[in-house]
Each structure stands twice: as structure tokens, then as C-alpha cells.
Amino acid sequence: MATAAVLLAGAAMYVIGAPDDPLAASQGSAVATDPGSGDPAPPAMAATPLPEPITAAAEAPSRTVEESGGFRLTLKSSDSCTAEAPADWTLGTTARSNTADLADPTGALYAGYGIQAVNTALAGYASAYPAPLNDPALYSGDPATAAAAYARIVLSALGGSPDLADTGEPWQSVGAYRLRQVASSTHRGVIFFHATGIPGDSVNYTYALPMYFAFTTSDRWEAQGNLVARVAASIRCSTQLQPPSDSLSSGGSAGGSAGDDANGTDAGYNPQLGTEYANDPTTGENYLVDPSTNWSDTGPAGPGYYVPKGGGDYQKLDPGRSD
């Protein structure tokens, strides 16, 4: 072939045919002929387009909090009591705010609080009281015994059976409180009670006993017992404790203030319950979550608890409460 064919590929020139100059060949030089006016121009090679960079799509969470059984909490208030509970729960309190009751619309889930003046001197007079105050255990010097007696009253008020007994699980210390798992033939639950009681004035009452109750019907405990326990633990009341106006007195003054309700700090959180709080940093909303069911190993911001923001986007929750 008299004329070498020259192809341009990138910045290199490739020549077909052996060059006449061995030195030029050894140096890798290439000579191109100058095409005449009648010769066609060498074909231009189109540059190969680079592939578009691939942007990894944010991975959606495998589950969101509410879809997997978590709960968005709202602040409930009545008189001098507050609590964090699902939006459709109802909070009721007494005028003195010494008791508080929360329940879901079905009545199968219950969380409650009470602080009661226990006068051990009245145990021998219990039979003079109308039911259910005629139970001598209500006036026991043992806070655990008194708390169980009040729990039986709560169960009866819920329409359940008061045949309450320990489930066999060990009692647990929770700060100044003790946690006791109990069950009856109709309900299951836990009682948080102040382990020693708060000393009284030794005239009107022996000690004050703060108590938290969390009960569900037996068939609901496994799925929702953790929720009810945490709702109960969130109850806060400010009250002036006074002995019941209808109580019998063994002598001395029959009334008067007995001091402030000293509930201390968080009376309810227990790691063994397996639940914790998380909050939406953009809205301040609090959620009650269970790591075993609500945690997502995937998500646009990494593993965590997620709630939908709309438009296919998700918000990762921060640990703890926003307040």
C-alpha cells in the first residue's frame, strides 16, 4: 500500500505499514502524508462518552416506628397531673390529684398512679370500713403488702378478677421503687411502689405510699405490656396528701395536711421492660419504642428509629425525650 492509513485514537497515532527509516521505527516516530486537495480528509474518531456518575439512592428504612408497633406520645393533663400517652387514651384524676387513671378506648389497657396515706394503727379496725376498704392489708406496715391490696382494688374497678399473685419473676429495684410482676385470672401487669414508703407524721398516718400500676387483659400483655408500663411511669402529679375524710381515727387529730407528694425522680423506667424513648428533632414529638421490634437496620441516615416525613422521605429519631 503506497499511502499509509492513519487512524487517530485519543492522543496516539497508529501507522499501518513498515516505516522506511529503522531509526524512526526504533524511536516510535510516525510520519503522516499530507493529503492533497483531491484526497479525502482522514476520518475523525468520536470521543467515547464517559458514563454518568451513579448516585446511590438513600436506602429506605426496613420499618418505621408506628408501622412496627411503636407509639407516638402526646402530653395529657388533668388538674395537677400530667402523663405521656397515645393520643386516644383518656386521663382522669381526683380533685386532690392524689390518683390518676389512664385507659385506652377499649378499656383493656390501663395505667395508673396513686399516693395513699397508710395508717397502720387502723389495721385492727378494717372490718368497720365498707368494702373495699375493709381489707386489713391496706393498712399494713409492709409497703409491698399495702401496694398489692390497692392493686386488687384497681383490678376490681376495671371489671377484672382481684385474685392477684406474683408471676414468679424476681422483684426488681428501680431507684427508690420496686417493680413487681403480677397476674390474676383476667389481667397481667406490674406494680411500681416506693420500697420503704415516705415517713408520715405518726399521728394521722404512718407512711405515704406512692404507687404506679400497669395492667392489661391477659391476652394483651405480651404485645402491649411494655407500652402500658411506660405510660404509667410517665405520670406526674403535684398534690397535698391528706388522710381520707372517711377514715376511722384511733385518737388524735382527724385531719390536716400531711406534706408534699415526694415521688422522687423517674419511678418507672426499667431496662428489663425493653422499651425506651426517642424523639423527632424537627417536631419535638416523643415516641415510645421497643428496640426488638421498632429498630431499623437500614435508613437514609443509617440504622435507627424512623418516622415518615412524606414524599417518600424519612426522619431518624434522636434518643431520649425532647423534654
Asked if residue 289 belongs to a domain, the reply is no
Of 127, 152, 116, residue with least CA distance to 244: 116
Asked if residue 317 belongs to a domain, the reply is no
Domains held by the chain: number: 2
30 and 98 both lie in a single domain: no
Q: Cα–Cα distance between 301 and 281 in angstroms, integer?
A: 14
Q: Cα–Cα distance between 154 and 160 in angstroms, integer?
A: 9
154 and 259 both lie in a single domain: yes
Asked if residue 100 belongs to a domain, the reply is yes
pTM for this entry: 0.67
φ/ψ of residue 44, rounded to 5: -85, 135
Q: Give residue 224's domain range.
A: 90-246+254-267
Q: Cα–Cα distance between 214 and 230 in angstroms, integer?
A: 8
1 and 137 both lie in a single domain: no
User: If you search the block for the grid coordinates 389512664, which residue do you land on?
Assistant: 102
Asked if residue 152 belongs to a domain, the reply is yes
pLDDT tens track, the chain, 323 positions: 333 332 223 333 333 333 343 333 333 433 344 545 555 555 555 566 666 665 555 688 988 888 887 888 899 999 889 999 999 999 999 888 889 999 999 999 999 999 999 999 999 999 999 999 999 999 999 999 999 999 999 999 999 999 999 999 999 888 889 999 999 999 999 999 999 999 988 888 999 999 999 999 999 999 889 889 989 988 998 876 654 443 333 233 322 333 333 333 443 334 445 677 889 999 999 888 888 788 899 999 999 999 998 888 999 999 888 87
DSSP 8-state secondary structure symbol assigned to residue 157: H
